[in-house]
Chain A
């Protein structure tokens, strides 16, 4: 917001809107490079290995080398694919996951678009990702790709239900769908975070805390499933489907899928952090307030935001290297028999509590 106003002063409103729309790219790309490296390191150390060690100190240049390799690679388009859709799909998937960043508040100084229906908007654009995945799977003209895409779509569509119900629960407490306002509600104190019942006071808060913890676990699981990560990664199950919907892709198009996957991981982590863990707010108060330097506060907020987001991404990786993949029927059992009823119960209890 402050950043947008500053840019608007500098260039005028319309160019400023464009620039602040591009800003998340400047975050997402380096983040994705780091996250790929981080995932390799985390997985390696969890398996008592070392991971990449030879490109730069402890292999920190490895992903850059990988990207350089991917750029140079031949862009193979098989003859039997449906060319227009095949070429469009990676862009659509990336656009869908990037669009979600527009409504995420990175700090009190920056939010792409401070829309009133921020959370709803994020849910809406995530539908584009599904369409893109289906497009990729179908256009590849490959049975593994198609099965992967169909599984992915089925999974995302089913897991969207508990996600939305939990989000609904949350908003029946705070009464706004705007993520910026939601973050502001959770300011000033760690016990104002939604996982501790938000800004509700009195005995209701104590009753809310266990419900909110359960809601938090549910939404964490469902978002994990929505980004197709292990244990919910049957769409990309390496051992049965080669690589799922991006089997046929190579070179930069593959890199787009990869980027979209990691961007998605951060997006859902950031959303979970914003919804439950105070968004960009620090749990301890700000150094900037202490020292009286006003510009330091947004910087610190950005730090805390990325810290929480990356923390959740790390937990996603941790889960990935801990749990085996679920079977399709188990996946659907978890969603329809456990998560959806439980989230409904939580929703009902919380709404009752708020009406009282």
Chain B
């Protein structure tokens, strides 16, 4: 077991443990902070795999943006309206069916995929290639995503104005 393995297991453990907490804790704030840890662990795994750009963007967008927004909303509503925000368990059967199907698909992919082993190599610069790919091969998808976000933004502004 070399250092990279240890780091991998560390991040994996952080991700798994905090993800379990997210699911099982009754307190929404705790769930949110455990989600932070989960995202952090996943970012670590990405970086360990050499996808440093994805890892960091994961941190920026999910931790710095979405999670903060989430916490923001929960904290404000919780304190202002004095409603104890707790999660409960409902719709057990449909949820377990959906989760089971998803897990089955994931396991299927995991076992049937022909994984390639790149060995241990420190990540090269990735953003250059990534940028070129995004701007050439995947330009349509990229632009469409941009449109989608723009539409979402306009919709949000419209709702907020009412």
Question: Do any beta carbons of A and B sit within 8 angstroms of each other in the complex?
Answer: yes
Residue numbers of A with Cβ under 8 A of B are 14, 82, 85, 115-117, 120-121, 123-128, 130-131, 134-135, 137-138, 143, 146, 149-150, 153-154, 157, 160, 177
Tell whether, in the assembled complex, residue B29 and residue A121 are in contact, meaning their CB atoms are under 8 Å apart: no
Tell whether, in the assembled complex, residue A125 and residue B59 are in contact, meaning their CB atoms are under 8 Å apart: yes
Q: Which of A115, A120, A143 contacts B79 (CB 8 A)?
A: A143
Contact residues, B43-77 vs A (CB, 8 A): 43, 52-53, 56-57, 59-60, 63-65, 67-69, 71-72, 75-76
Residue numbers of B with Cβ under 8 A of A are 3, 29-30, 33, 36, 43, 52-53, 56-57, 59-60, 63-65, 67-69, 71-72, 75-76, 79, 123, 125-127
Tell whether, in the assembled complex, residue A116 and residue B125 are in contact, meaning their CB atoms are under 8 Å apart: yes
Tell whether, in the assembled complex, residue A117 and residue B56 are in contact, meaning their CB atoms are under 8 Å apart: yes
How many A-B contacts at CB < 8 Å in the complex?
Answer: 73
Shortest CB distance B137–A (Å): 21
**Residues from chain A with Cβ under 8 Å of B127 in the complex:** 116-117, 177
**Residues from chain A with Cβ under 8 Å of B60 in the complex:** 120, 123-124, 127
Shortest CB distance A326–B (Å): 20
A82 to B67, CA, bound (A): 19
**Residues from chain A with Cβ under 8 Å of B67 in the complex:** 131
Interface residues of chain A: helix, strand, loop or mixed (majority): helix
Closest to B27 in A: A82
Given A127-B63, A131-B68: 14 more A-B contacts, CB < 8 Å: A115-B52, A120-B53, A123-B60, A124-B43, A127-B60, A128-B63, A134-B71, A137-B75, A138-B29, A138-B71, A138-B75, A150-B75, A153-B71, A157-B69
Tell whether, in the assembled complex, residue B53 and residue A124 are in contact, meaning their CB atoms are under 8 Å apart: no
Tell whether, in the assembled complex, residue A127 and residue B75 are in contact, meaning their CB atoms are under 8 Å apart: no
Tell whether, in the assembled complex, residue B59 and residue A124 are in contact, meaning their CB atoms are under 8 Å apart: yes
**Residues from chain A with Cβ under 8 Å of B3 in the complex:** 14
Tell whether, in the assembled complex, residue A127 and residue B72 are in contact, meaning their CB atoms are under 8 Å apart: no
A157 to B60, CA, bound (A): 11
Shortest CB distance A185–B (Å): 16
A11 to B19, CA, bound (A): 37
A154 to B76, CA, bound (A): 12
Tell whether, in the assembled complex, residue A146 and residue B63 are in contact, meaning their CB atoms are under 8 Å apart: no
Q: Which of B68, B123, B125, B126 contacts A153 (CB 8 A)?
A: B68
A116 to B127, CA, bound (A): 9
Query: Can you sample 9 A-B contacts with CB below 8 Å?
Result: A85-B33, A116-B123, A117-B52, A120-B57, A121-B56, A124-B57, A127-B68, A131-B63, A131-B68
**Residues from chain B with Cβ under 8 Å of A146 in the complex:** 75, 79
A125 to B75, CA, bound (A): 22
Shortest CB distance B56–A (Å): 5
